[in-house]
């Protein structure tokens, strides 16, 4: 009888160990699954944050472009003389485009344009 009791005790211990291993394996699998879902959720959050940031940047660029275009239109309205552009371009040895822009920015005032280019 003792032999069969020992076998039963030993059998119970083996069953408990198997049960514990299964539980540990299940818990490990559940933890791994949780890590994967956490990672996926973080990626989704990061993607939405990125999309929001891109929208903000896009809006800022559009605003800057609109301001630049408005400034260019205002500068185009300023009347300047060809002789003044030639004078500035020749004296300071700069391009006609740069001379014309500087002159327009200073509302056609040659002296102010020359001063800003030399400073």
pTM of the model: 0.49
pLDDT of residue 32: 75
95, 89 Cβ separation under 8 angstroms: yes
Degrees, nearest 5: CA angle 49-64-100: 155
Fold of domain 78-119 = Helicase, Ruva Protein; domain 3 (1.10.8)
Segment 51-99, tens digit of pLDDT: 888 899 999 999 999 999 999 899 889 899 999 999 999 999 999 999 9
Tokens standing for residue 53: 């940031």
Nearest-angstrom CA–CA distance, 74 and 86:
22
Segment 93-117, tens digit of pLDDT: 999 999 999 999 999 999 999 999 9
What lies within 8 Å, CB to CB, of 118 at 6+ separation is 92
Q: Where are the domains of the chain?
A: 1-69, 78-119
């Amino acid at each position: 009888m003792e032999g069969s009791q020992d076998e039963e005790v030993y059998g119970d211990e083996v069953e408990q160990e198997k049960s514990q291993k299964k539980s540990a394996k299940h818990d490990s699998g559940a933890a791994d699954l949780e890590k994967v879902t956490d990672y996926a959720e973080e990626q989704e959050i990061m993607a939405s944050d990125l999309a929001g940031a891109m929208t903000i940047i896009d809006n800022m660029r559009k605003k800057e472009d609109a301001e630049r275009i408005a400034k260019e239109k205002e500068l185009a309205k300023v009347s300047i003389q060809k002789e003044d552009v030639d004078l500035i371009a020749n004296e300071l040895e700069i391009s006609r485009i740069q001379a014309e822009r500087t002159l327009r920015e200073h509302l056609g005032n040659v002296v102010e344009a020359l001063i800003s280019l030399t400073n």
